[in-house]
């Protein structure tokens, strides 16, 4: 049994590792399907020359959308995304996390393929389509926590979740430049066709290979099944969620705060970094694709190390699980506070990106902390709790760009400093709150009660008991 728990990372030998491996590419597809429009909309609204005969050309655009219309199209996804977070966790717990996760990505991929036709038909239909895509993608993260509650033993919890979630950052790094290349050589509709088809291929593999629980997997070895039963316990489909206790629990709110603060910084950089470099430094970041993607590539790599280190510290009992979670999350947030402030004062593109690489890269240590914390405090409710925290964590994706636009009116370096100061302050608040209230101990309201023995007949010679 010890040999099973200490097995190396070889996904082809352990079914739970295969689940994590396929989940990695699932989140890769989640973000590829999410950001494809960010690149496509540039080509959709850019002018190009069309021959009118007699060696004359006319400039035309496929879509004559102003900046407000483009903003509506791009933001519409999040309005659907924020609406199904808690529902996704509940559905995953109730009907199976792997099934809900697969359906969410399958539907999004299918809708992605028909996006060009819808865009050419009606702007309002395109906005509605993106809202629906957000609705189905909204179930992915919460339902995946329902998968972890059945497949991830506590000794491997951080590394499995960190590995899978890092697929989203790699998806961002790959999808943005590749979508640009595809649009240039094959036209913007090809972006949606390719990302949609790749998503459907992944869904087929996921649906065939991954099951909701180890007990329902016909290919799992008896050794691994026994190991998971001993370290996780049997799965129970009939779970009643103590909703009132969720709202009363400070460890739950510590997760919510950490998730919100981490996403604030992430969405600020993701949406504002190119504009900041152009406005404050007069630097065209599009000419340096590596610099723009470097922070997220570094984060993808560091998350692997951070997840393994977190599990190692817990398994060797060098620190308590609660202290490991606090050390990783608070240490990451404090580092991000410092480097975000430094980025506001540097005047060279390389210097700024270097600071942001450190900020985002060290932020990778926060993910094996707060993103796993739901499973620590209430494993059977982890899907719903992930949906609860991700609901709040989606708000920065809507507010941060709007706030930055309100602050940066003259495109000056001093205005951009305020944007970075706000992000730094939010990180610091998140570190303090999480350090004070976080816990990795199973909460009292998450402890399953043993069935009571009720005496229905009493006799000195015979006792009849009813469970």
CA atoms of 31 and 89, how far apart (whole Å): 19
pTM higher than the cut 0.75: yes
DSSP-assigned letters across all residues of 254-280: HHHHHHHHHHHHHHHHHHHHHHHHHHH
Q: Per-residue pLDDT averaged across 142-146, rounded?
A: 94
CA dist., res. 316 & res. 327, Å (int): 16
Res 444: pLDDT: 93
Confidence of residue 412 (pLDDT cuts 50, 70, 90): confident
In this model, does residue 369 exceed pLDDT 80? yes
CATH architecture of structural domain 11-228:
Up-down Bundle (1.20)
* Cα(174)–Cα(181) distance, integer angstroms: 11
Which position has the higher pLDDT, 236 or 154?
154
pLDDT at residue 288 greater than cutoff 50: no
Mean pLDDT (the chain) is 86
Q: Which CATH class is domain 238-447?
A: mainly alpha
Question: 415-431 burial string, b = 16+ CB within 10 Å, else e?
Answer: bbbebbebbbebbbebb
pLDDT of residue 2: 43
For the cut 50, the answer to whether the pLDDT of residue 53 exceeds it is yes
Structural domain spans, the chain: 11-228, 238-447
**Most trustworthy range by pLDDT among 40-49, 104-113, 148-157, 413-422:** 104-113
In the predicted structure, residue 6 carries a pLDDT above the cut 50: no
Structure-model confidence comparison of residues 39 and 8, the more confident one: 39
pLDDT of residue 285: 45
What's the whole-number mean pLDDT along residues 40-69? Answer: 79
Query: Strands 56-60 and 48-53, how do they pair?
Result: antiparallel
Beta-bridge partners for 435: none
Helix (H) or strand (E) holding 287: none
Select from 226, 202, 199 the least CA-distant residue to 215.
Answer: 226
pLDDT of residue 274: 63
Where do the H-state alpha helices sit in 46-156?
67-81, 85-95, 97-113, 115-121, 123-137, 140-151
pLDDT-based confidence at 260, cuts 50/70/90? very high
């Amino acid at each position: 049994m010890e040999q099973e728990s200490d097995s190396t990372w070889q996904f082809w030998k352990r079914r739970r590792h295969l689940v994590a491996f396929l989940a990695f590419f699932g989140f890769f597809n989640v973000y590829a399907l999410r950001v494809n429009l960010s690149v496509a909309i540039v080509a959709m609204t850019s002018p190009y020359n069309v021959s009118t005969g007699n060696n004359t050309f006319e400039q035309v655009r496929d879509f004559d959308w102003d900046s407000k219309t483009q903003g509506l199209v791009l933001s519409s996804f999040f309005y659907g995304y924020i609406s199904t977070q808690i529902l996704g966790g509940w559905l995953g717990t109730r009907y199976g996390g792997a099934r809900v996760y697969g359906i969410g990505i399958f539907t999004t991929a299918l809708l992605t393929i028909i996006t060009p036709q819808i865009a050419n038909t009606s702007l309002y239909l395109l906005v509605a389509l993106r809202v629906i895509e957000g609705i189905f993608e909204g179930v992915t993260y919460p339902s995946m926590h329902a998968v972890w509650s059945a497949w991830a033993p506590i000794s491997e919890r951080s590394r499995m979740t960190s590995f899978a979630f890092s697929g989203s950052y790699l998806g961002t790094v790959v999808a943005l430049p590749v979508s640009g290349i595809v649009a240039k050589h094959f036209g913007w509709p090809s972006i949606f066709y390719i990302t949609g088809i790749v998503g459907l291929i992944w869904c087929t593999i996921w649906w065939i290979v991954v099951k909701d629980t180890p007990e329902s997997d016909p290919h799992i070895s008896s050794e691994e099944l026994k190991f998971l039963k001993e370290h996780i316990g049997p799965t129970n489909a009939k779970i009643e969620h103590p909703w009132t206790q969720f709202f009363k629990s400070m460890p739950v709110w510590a997760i919510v705060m950490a998730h919100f603060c981490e996403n604030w910084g992430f969405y600020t950089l993701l949406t504002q970094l190119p504009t900041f470099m152009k406005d404050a430094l007069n630097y065209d970041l599009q000419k340096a694709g590596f610099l723009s993607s470097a922070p997220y590539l570094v984060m993808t790599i560091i998350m692997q190390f951070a997840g393994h280190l977190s599990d190692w510290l817990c398994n060797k009992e060098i620190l308590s699980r609660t202290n490991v979670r606090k050390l990783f999350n608070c240490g990451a947030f404090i580092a991000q506070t410092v480097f975000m402030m430094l980025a506001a004062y540097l005047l060279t593109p390389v210097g700024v990106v270097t600071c942001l690489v450190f900020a985002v890269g060290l932020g990778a240590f926060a993910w094996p902390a707060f993103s796993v914390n739901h499973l620590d405090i209430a494993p059977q409710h982890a899907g719903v709790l992930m949906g609860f925290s991700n609901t709040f964590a989606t708000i920065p994706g809507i507010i941060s760009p709007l706030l930055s636009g309100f602050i940066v009116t003259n495109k000056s370096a001093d205005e951009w400093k305020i944007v970075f100061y706000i992000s730094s302050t939010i990180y610091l608040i998140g570190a303090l709150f999480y350090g004070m209230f976080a816990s990795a101990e199973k909460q009292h309201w998450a402890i399953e009660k043993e069935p009571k023995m009720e005496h229905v007949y009493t006799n000195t010679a015979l006792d009849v008991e009813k469970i």
